Structure 1
Amino acid sequence: MAETFKLNPKLAVFLTPTPFALTFALKGIIAMALALYVSMLMDFDRPYWAMISAVFLQIRPESGQVIEKGMFQLLGTIVGGGIGLLVLALFVQAPALALATLSMLVFVCATLSAMTHNFNVTYFCAMIAATMILVVVISVASTPTSNSIFEVAVQRVSEIGIGSICATLVSMLLWPVRVRQAMVLHANDVIDKALASVELHLDPEDKRTERHASLLDAIESVMLLEADTSPVIYEGPTGPGRARAAHLLSQRTLSLIAEMQVLGHFIREHPDWIDDVVSPLMDDLRNSVRQAKAEQDHLARRELLVALRKRVNAFDVSRLNTALQHRAVQVIQEVVQLMLVMLDARSAVENAESLRLKAVRISRHHDVLLSVIIGLRSSLMFALASILWISSGWDTAFLMMVMPVIFSVMFASFPAPTMIIRFLIVGTVAALPVGILFGGVLLANAPRDFEMLIMVFGAPLFVALMGFTNRMTLAYSLGFCLTYIIMTLPGNTMTFDVVGSVERGLTVLIGVIVLHTLFRLVVEPNALIMRRRLISATATDISELSATRPDDVEEWFNGRMFGRIQRLARYENNLSDRQRSRRNLIEQGLLGLNLGHVVIKQARRLSMVDDQPRMRVAMRRWQQSLAQSYQASAWGVADDQEFLRHSRLIYRLMRDSGQFESGQLKQFEGLCYRLLLSLRRNAGVSEDQIQELETRLLSDEPNVSEPSLDPDNDRDLTGDDGREEPRA
């Protein structure tokens, strides 16, 4: 039987386009044609910058995205124009100083862009850099006067502003696509991938690779969902409600990931602790999650989990034999509750009119070192292009100061920027022959009217714009569209100079190749250095949780950790097999996430029962010693004696207060046992020592060498003068 022929998925985007791709391409052509027409009507000398402005707004076609990006583009253009005028006012008679100042300003813009995780804010920084470069370089290239400088600034700001306004209006008025539609799809994806991850964690087999892949898929889905929460607020009165519901879904997904680490350790590493009493409950959880994952109706999913919650809450904890089993049942209850909240949040994303939930935006961790490296790379790109422009007298070399710098700022924080730039290079190469044919041959022989200009010039753009609808082909299409426009230079005074067209296209190509080389040369520190920085930052956050963010501490910690786990996963791929076997970076990140949740929840449990200063100080010391033990274990050192001492002290304070039930004491005891085992395993303690540790910790004999959690000889929490230590 003959095999069915299948097109390459990337080629299929262009050769077998979907109705949505055709509609989107038509909208893009209309927006670009309108921007060009208005700019030509106003007799701007470079109206093609309005088209380039409109092209960038096609990266995300949803109305809310275009509105936010257009707003930031317009604002960035105004700010960049103002900065450009200021630079010229100071250094108009010293072009070298003006360019040196621009290089430092590009560094600032690129560094600030790396400190945000909102792509539209990153684009805002890129527009500031691009506009101030255009204003300064075009003015310096001519004979600058006060009037000409101001006119150049006004025209550049106007051209880019016209492109923003036209693209925004077309997106809103013609076949609008809403962000909320994408949000519902992303919310469903988050639920599906989270349930798949839970199912893998409940599997007794140690499928570490699949388990980590499922976690990273869930985190990636959360990231995509969070990216839509900012622009959705521009889509009507329900937009803010959808954003809050999405924040809640993201937060609870990350909390679920943290709690699942505990159950996973029980099931795979200590199956002997799951006896006949706990086993039916664990099997019930496993079967219910499997059914919920297979069920596509969200109401049916919720009914399954509600029934499970009733059975879990009705479980008789008096039948449990060990403290660790108390801890396991507690985690099962928390996991089921988190999954139910996630389903409610998903429903609120879809039906914000009837459901209203509250949550805060995810906080993010920013590594200053990485941001500075991104700023240096962009500044170096501009400096190299400036030196080439001044030393060679090559007129079109100024294009290397603009387009590659924009790409450097926009894509530096992406997971695989060098791959994106390679795709841009391919798109740029493809634009060279097309630009020669359509710009130098067909347009040169066509009637000189705007309609014919758009029909001939817009045909390749229409095909390329279809690629913006697919993430696999977006970079190809972006490189093609920008290079094609720069080669053709549509406007009132087109020269149809083939030599000049090829020269401009090659300039853009060389600039992007140089940028790709810089990305290969100016790289972030190696995986081991960045791992040390990320683990240290995590330990610092754990030690300061209760003091820094008392209200939304869980949300703050979740947001900072999920980006770190993504980075640790990337760094793990760069390690050798020997290094990876010794230090599993993803596991270390997940352990840090779990420890943070342990601190947050334990602090809440203690404060609800005994919120006295002595208990608060003991809790503060306990979490600091836990953070120190975690950081030591990441370096391969089993240094947990201080944590063990503070655990005993909290246990004694809980017991002596008389306000804690025996079940709560058992839960805390099991929590400390589990933490000690996790820390020592993370430190690389041998399996024989782990088994010995378990035997000593779980033994009820009074003469075991390892001290229990119930000592009477810990010193009080008082200072040298006997006064109680103040609240942390």
Structure 2
Amino acid sequence: MRLIPNFIINRKANDLILLQAAWREWLAEDAPMIAYIFKVLLACLLAMWLSLRFELDQPRTAMMTVAIVMQFRSGMVFAKSYYRFLGTSVGILVSFLLVALFAQERILFLVCMGVWIGLCTAGSMIFRNYQSYAFVLAGYTLCIVGLPSTLTPELTFNIGVTRISEILIGLICATLVSDLIFPQRMWDVMLAAIRRRFKDFSDLMQTAAVKPVASTTSTPTLLRFLGDIFSLESFQASAGMENDKSRLHRQKLSRMNNEFMEVSTSFHAFEQLLRRQHNITQPQVSDALQRVYQSLSAAIMVEGRSAQTEQEAMIVSRQLSAFRNQFSANIHTERTRLRADVGATERLDFETGCELLQRLTDELYVYTSTYASLAAAQNSNVAVTEIAQTPKLEMHFDPLAVSLAGVRGTLSLAILSALWILTDWRSGVEAITLGVISSTLFATTPSPTRTIKNFMIGAIIGTLLAYFCNFHLLTQAHGFWMLAVAVAPGIIIAAWFTTRPATAIVGAGVFMVYLMHIGFNSAYNSNPVTFINDAIADLLAVLISGIMYGLIDLSSSRWSRQRIAKSLRNLVVAACRDPVTLRRSRLETGARELVQRAGSAQRIGDKEDRVVIEWLLSTLEIGHAVVALREYLQMVEHPYISKMLSLGLESVAQLYDAPSEASRIQAISTIDHAMAEISQANIDFNLPQANQHKITVMLHFIRSALLDEESVLVAGAQATLEKH
């Protein structure tokens, strides 16, 4: 018998392994995109068939609804459909009201419409997630229903009922197809995001433990975590409509978001402290703290690697619990080593680092325990308890930015309405509708000007596809299946664009314009002259919206960045001065959301936005110390010590209210004086030793941060000096 050589067997085995790996990669990356494109096409064709079956006027409205609400995940489709229905219903009711009041007064109708568009645009800037989208829908639905009704007021009710019927068909088709055909659950995405975030943060801590202090910086990774926090909140809002598992863990995920914000900020504060100690050549102190920190980083590892699942996080939680029990002993050992080698200032630096490490350890343990609890079965009683304990993410925004966004939407409507009235343009309604849509829909994006450019590219591609479909394919279509074949290529191309984040806005433009120009309603009625007029109207509307974004785009202006920086500093001022102590979660949410809404976290590479990021980190670092100091201040009973601490807090407030070198020096001097007085308080005023230690450590931490020559406070003071 002739045997097969071993190298042939090995080669076949290797080929099989490579083939299996390629198959798994295809299933993970390409298959979901193909399934999504198929689902979009199926839902659009189903909506078209039902609209034709019920003899509705504009099947393309149902198809456009499908294109707008269709997402990769079923929960996102449910949430977007729900808020689209709410927004559309409100917009139709307002349309009925305005037509009833101003049916014969086109100017008054447009004035009221402009006010409504401005209010809805402002509302979309205030709220987050799909609540924002509902405001956008309530705005431009008035154009879709109200403007045609001004031409034929007697048909207003019929137009409104027909439009909402078409939209409902689109919503039903999208949700059914998304949930029944290759469903993709939000819970799986959220769980994967939580696992990835825990793993990445563990890797970040491990990297900081093994690399020299001067060569590490966590800022880019922490900013990515900033985006993940709000993305996870958006996912959570969508997942609540998906299944019982998502709803059961919803409040727990919200709590994890808040806990992670605290952990990441404490980690950054500790990293900054190590950097400052390294820069002022205190190797004994930094080495001692680094040894304790290395023990902490080892406690979050499982067999030398980061935890991959919540089951492994349970192991990490037990290790962190053991580390917390040994923390005092570890600190005592390092403190004993330092006593003979360093002076009083260096020992205080060490105690400050120990306080931050203690806080980081406690917060990391709480966060890990919450994450690990996802592996355990939850009953309804636990879920109810969590609802009462979970803090909510509050909304923070720039009122001026909201106002200007509303003005921008109103001005876009005013310009297009003037063109319509003065020229009696046949396609004026089309131009106003798309102009309002594009001027309100992208107001909340990080870079509206860039977004509208991509949308314009999509609009041009959609116009070309619609022309080819109307005058080369639809003319040959007989029957539903031929009609489906005619419209399918454009839908597939648009859906393919939306599968990639870089071209998603292009795909939205393709979808919007292509379906608006499809040359059939209940019957084929495409006319070349009408098509060209409508195409010019759409492109002109998008162009005017782009011009308005260019003129009123706060996200890319230096003045806007200064306002965001000022708003961040005001959070520290409020923490120092407000009668009610600013809660830490409120400080975290306020600072991070201001930066998220401004879009600076997505533009970290830009030099101008780096200033905003530095103010964010400074706000969180000093703000946490101020909040802790305010909490300790409540335990101080002697009026003189309270006065010293209040003066120190007021000096910090004055510095952040108007950064200058003089204010910085004054704040450092005031804190030095307060520390000197408190050092004698144990003798003179019988201040408890524990309280004295905590207060001194926090004051020293603030002082060291203010002394940092690389701090944004120094750069801000220099900028103020140059300005004056």
> Structure 2: how far apart are the matches of 1:544 and 1:664?
24
Shift of 1:138: 0.4
Shift of 1:444: 1.0
Partner residue in 1 for 2:505: 475
> Structure 2: how far apart are the matches of 1:427 and 1:497?
22
Shift of 1:163: 1.9
* Matched residue SS, 2:240: helix
* Matched residue SS, 2:427: helix
Partner residue in 2 for 1:370: 401
Q: 1:143 to 1:282 in 2, by over 3 A?
A: closer
Partner residue in 1 for 2:53: 41
Two-structure CA RMSD over aligned residues (Å): 3.4
Partner residue in 1 for 2:212: 204
> Structure 2: how far apart are the matches of 1:43 and 1:655?
90
Partner residue in 1 for 2:244: 237
Q: 1:525 to 1:126 in 2, by over 3 A?
A: closer
Deviations 1:528-562 (A, max 9, x none): 53344334433443344499797992222211111
Query: Aligned pair 1:660/2:698, yes or no?
Result: no
> Structure 2: how far apart are the matches of 1:237 and 1:546?
43
8 Å CA contact retained: 1:324, 1:671: no
Shift of 1:29: 2.3
Partner residue in 2 for 1:629: 655
Q: 1:375 to 1:324 in 2, by over 3 A?
A: same
Query: Aligned pair 1:81/2:55, yes or no?
Result: no
**Counterpart among 110, 132, 140 of residue 142 in structure 2:** 132
- Worse-superposed segment, 676-685 or 76-85: 676-685
> Structure 2: how far apart are the matches of 1:213 and 1:362?
23
8 Å CA contact retained: 1:385, 1:400: yes
**Structure 2 counterparts to residues 175-574 of structure 1, below 5 A:** 175-199=182-206, 203-207=211-215, 211-271=218-278, 272=282, 274-275=284-285, 277-285=288-296, 294-298=305-309, 299=312, 301-302=316-317, 305-317=320-332, 319=336, 321=339, 322-348=347-373, 353=378, 358-447=389-478, 449-524=479-554, 528-545=558-575, 553-566=583-596, 567=598
> Structure 1: how far apart are the matches of 2:265 and 2:224?
15
> Structure 1: how far apart are the matches of 2:683 and 2:39?
70
> Structure 1: how far apart are the matches of 2:226 and 2:403?
26
The aligned amino acid for 1:594 is: E
* Structure 1 stretches lacking a partner, 5+ long: 1-12, 687-728
> Structure 1: how far apart are the matches of 2:604 and 2:464?
42
Q: 1:683 to 1:237 in 2, by over 3 A?
A: closer
The aligned amino acid for 2:212 is: P
> Structure 2: how far apart are the matches of 1:520 and 1:472?
21
Greater helix content: 2
> Structure 2: how far apart are the matches of 1:441 and 1:675?
72
**Structure 2 counterparts to residues 698-713 of structure 1, below 5 A:** none
8 Å CA contact retained: 1:196, 1:214: no
8 Å CA contact retained: 1:629, 1:679: no
The aligned amino acid for 1:530 is: S
Partner residue in 2 for 1:71: 82
Partner residue in 2 for 1:599: 626
Shift of 1:575: 4.9
Shift of 1:427: 1.9
- Worse-superposed segment, 297-306 or 435-444: 297-306
8 Å CA contact retained: 1:115, 1:371: yes
> Structure 1: how far apart are the matches of 2:540 and 2:442?
18
8 Å CA contact retained: 2:618, 2:712: no
The aligned amino acid for 1:474 is: A
Shift of 1:131: 1.2
8 Å CA contact retained: 2:427, 2:534: yes
The aligned amino acid for 1:315 is: N
Shift of 1:183: 0.8
Q: 1:655 to 1:627 in 2, by over 3 A?
A: farther
Q: 1:334 to 1:55 in 2, by over 3 A?
A: same
* Matched residue SS, 1:136: helix
- Worse-superposed segment, 331-340 or 676-685: 676-685
TM-score of the pair, normalised by structure 2: 0.82
> Structure 1: how far apart are the matches of 2:675 and 2:160?
65
The aligned amino acid for 1:630 is: Y
The aligned amino acid for 1:660 is: P
> Structure 1: how far apart are the matches of 2:401 and 2:640?
41
> Structure 1: how far apart are the matches of 2:442 and 2:206?
35
> Structure 2: how far apart are the matches of 1:636 and 1:530?
26
> Structure 2: how far apart are the matches of 1:480 and 1:215?
35
- Worse-superposed segment, 596-605 or 284-293: 284-293
Shift of 1:364: 3.2
* Matched residue SS, 2:214: coil
* Matched residue SS, 1:329: helix
Shift of 1:425: 1.9
Q: 1:411 to 1:445 in 2, by over 3 A?
A: same
Shift of 1:330: 1.6
> Structure 1: how far apart are the matches of 2:64 and 2:645?
57
Q: 1:180 to 1:614 in 2, by over 3 A?
A: farther
> Structure 1: how far apart are the matches of 2:128 and 2:433?
23
Shift of 1:128: 0.7
* Matched residue SS, 1:175: coil
Shift of 1:85: 1.5
Shift of 1:474: 1.6
The aligned amino acid for 2:358 is: Q
Partner residue in 1 for 2:41: 29
Deviations 1:551-577 (A, max 9, x none): 99222221111123454557876557x
Shift of 1:328: 0.7
8 Å CA contact retained: 2:124, 2:131: yes
Q: 1:655 to 1:329 in 2, by over 3 A?
A: farther
8 Å CA contact retained: 2:202, 2:306: no
The aligned amino acid for 1:389 is: W
The aligned amino acid for 1:674 is: F
8 Å CA contact retained: 2:447, 2:556: no
8 Å CA contact retained: 1:435, 1:487: yes
> Structure 1: how far apart are the matches of 2:543 and 2:304?
46
Partner residue in 1 for 2:720: none
Partner residue in 1 for 2:112: 101
The sequence identity of aligned pairs, in percent, is: 20
Shift of 1:396: 2.0
8 Å CA contact retained: 1:186, 1:224: no
* Structure 2 stretches lacking a partner, 5+ long: 1-24, 340-346, 716-724
8 Å CA contact retained: 1:199, 1:286: yes
8 Å CA contact retained: 1:486, 1:505: no
8 Å CA contact retained: 1:255, 1:597: no
8 Å CA contact retained: 1:487, 1:502: no
Partner residue in 2 for 1:693: none
The aligned amino acid for 2:231 is: L
Q: 1:61 to 1:569 in 2, by over 3 A?
A: closer
The aligned amino acid for 2:621 is: N
